[in-house]
Structure 1
Amino acid sequence: MNFLSTIKPAFPAYATAWDKLGWWAVRALCVFVLIYLLVPILAIIPLSFSSSSFLAYPMPGWSLQWYHNLFTSAEWMRAAKNSFIVAPAATLIATVLGTAAAVGLARGNFPGKGLVMALLIAPMVVPVVVVAVACYLFFARLGLADSYTGLIVVHAALGAPFVVTTVLATLQGFNHNLVRASLSLGAGPLRTFFKVTLPVIAPGVISGALFAFATSFDEVVVTLFIAGPEQSTLPRQMFTGIRENINPTIAAAATLLILFTTALMLVLEWLRGRRR
């Protein structure tokens, strides 16, 4: 029994005031934590409009020269093109395989099911550098290092666990009688999946696909090991720029990535609202 529950019967007004004070304290703490997390991220946005050649405050003036440099640089444009090649391809593979695995795990009841689930979500918990080193050693023997194929395969493996978990969560509330009714009316398993199952679990599939896309688009460690100079992505180009030549072009690229990621999160929240 806590203190508030003890004083509520005798002093209801006093207890109510304490409840309100505690509620506002929790809200203030949440706002403080949110500001603490967002300020370092948002601080980079004004620097992308700085007229200075260095990432430093105070800024001497405002300029769009770094956005112009970003969109006219061959290296940055090649990196952006590679990111929009690798991420959609990896997302497609991860979504198809992750959805199939989630449906199979939800419907099946077989020995070793827990082990299979652990293997599927292992890329989420294993340190990325371990995955990168292992994939590099394995792909080097197969000739897939320094190739789009190897990079897409690894990014798909990193994104698939997000699809598996989100689709499995959606399938928890799925009414399997709908599948039985469809099969009893003469529809085949494939037609039943596309006409009955997929429309119901679509919000979970799309949510998982967005997570897989964000994982692939922002990934840098595996790219450093697997990709060659021609497969450099935006995160790798930013890492290279920070290591070799720091200028506000990196801030401009980071600002665009922040806006892009924010748009993905807004779409995800909209899908969650539809699922509810």
Structure 2
Amino acid sequence: MSDNHAPRTLSQRLGWTGTIVAATLVFVFLMAPIIAIVPLSFSSSTYLTYPLPGVSMRWYQDLFTSDKWMLSVKNSFIIGIASTVLSMILGTLAALGLASWKSRLKSLVMAIVLSPMVVPVVITAVGVYFFFAPLGLTGNYAGLILAHTALATPFVVITVSATLQSFDTNLSRAAASLGAPPLLTFFKVVLPLILPGVASGALFAFATSFDEVVTVLFLAGPEQRTLPREMFAGIRENISPTITAAAVILTIFSVALLSCLEWLRRRGEKLKAAVH
């Protein structure tokens, strides 16, 4: 028995070792381009070259003192926050409606709602441009906010719908039986329990808007250039190490968003455990 057990143990160890090695190689492959950018952002050279001729903070200083870059950062936050708020409202209402709707058309409607995630962004951007142009929604904030809302809302629908799978509808029925109107039931009973899902969807929506560049290329005017749009223009027109500084800031920002998502996930699990 021990002889038969030893080969199995050895094969398991070899399997785990192979898995760890493969996962490590994949991780290095994915992270290498990001890690390579970080030292370049501290280079004293005006060219993106290795080895670094010296260390300098000039590109971060240029990023935070340039009117052009600061305007793009401000535009990204304005458009991102506005589209996130709209997508939170629309996505949450859509998820609640779809969760309680019993119809054979439910799958079709869900597919239509989630279609911005499936359709290539360039096709969506072209369609939005031709739809918005006659309405005067190109070259202004309103058009960009509405377009980003359409792209971000599916993420809210998915996260809220996933949270509603474990939601006990008897709680809302109990509130209604005690005389609570629907609006009060939503804010006092439903929303606190699905809040982690709503917040997670909001983070995904904000990240989608903040990182989006294709729609901005079609709809934005000179005053609505976002940070990704400015980086894209810098790569095409004049490659400056300031772009690497912006990339490092965006990477740190993305890590912060992922940390928030992990915290919300744990909070959601604690709420589910408390309810059950």
TM-score range, shorter chain: over 0.9
Whether 2:216 is the aligned partner of 1:228: answer: no
Whether 2:6 is the aligned partner of 1:13: answer: yes
Separation in 2, partners of 1:13, 1:103: 54
Separation in 2, partners of 1:143, 1:210: 29
Q: What does 1:96-245 correspond to in 2, within 5 Å?
A: 96-245=89-238
Post-superposition shift, 1:24?
A: 2.1
Separation in 1, partners of 2:182, 2:143: 33
1:31-50 C-alpha deviation (Å, 9 max, x unpaired): 11011101101111110100
1:13-39 C-alpha deviation (Å, 9 max, x unpaired): 210121122112112211110111011
- The gaps in structure 1 that reach 5 residues or longer are 1-7
Separation in 2, partners of 1:9, 1:100: 61
TM-score in terms of structure 2 length: 0.95
- Provide runs of 4+ in structure 1 moved above 4 Å: none
For the structure 1 residues 186 and 9, does the alpha-carbon distance in structure 2 shift closer, same or farther, using more than 3 Å as the test? Answer: farther
Post-superposition shift, 1:9?
A: 8.8
Separation in 1, partners of 2:131, 2:83: 19
Post-superposition shift, 1:183?
A: 0.4
Q: Which amino acid in 2 is paired with 1:173?
A: S
TM-score in terms of structure 1 length: 0.95
1:59-106 C-alpha deviation (Å, 9 max, x unpaired): 100000111111111110110110010000000000110000001111
Residue matched to 2:242: 249
Post-superposition shift, 1:203?
A: 0.8
SS in 2 for 1:38: helix
Aligned length: 269
CA RMSD of superposed structures (Å): 1.1
Separation in 2, partners of 1:128, 1:248: 28
Q: Which amino acid in 2 is paired with 1:41?
A: I
Separation in 2, partners of 1:124, 1:157: 10
1:88 to 72, 81, 87: 81
Separation in 2, partners of 1:40, 1:176: 47
- The gaps in structure 2 that reach 5 residues or longer are 270-276
Post-superposition shift, 1:111?
A: 4.0
Q: What does 1:71-82 correspond to in 2, within 5 Å?
A: 71-82=64-75
SS in 2 for 1:43: helix
1:181-222 C-alpha deviation (Å, 9 max, x unpaired): 010011011111111111111111111100000000000000
Whether 2:27 is the aligned partner of 1:31: answer: no
1:141-182 C-alpha deviation (Å, 9 max, x unpaired): 000000100000010110000000111011111111101101
Separation in 1, partners of 2:31, 2:260: 20
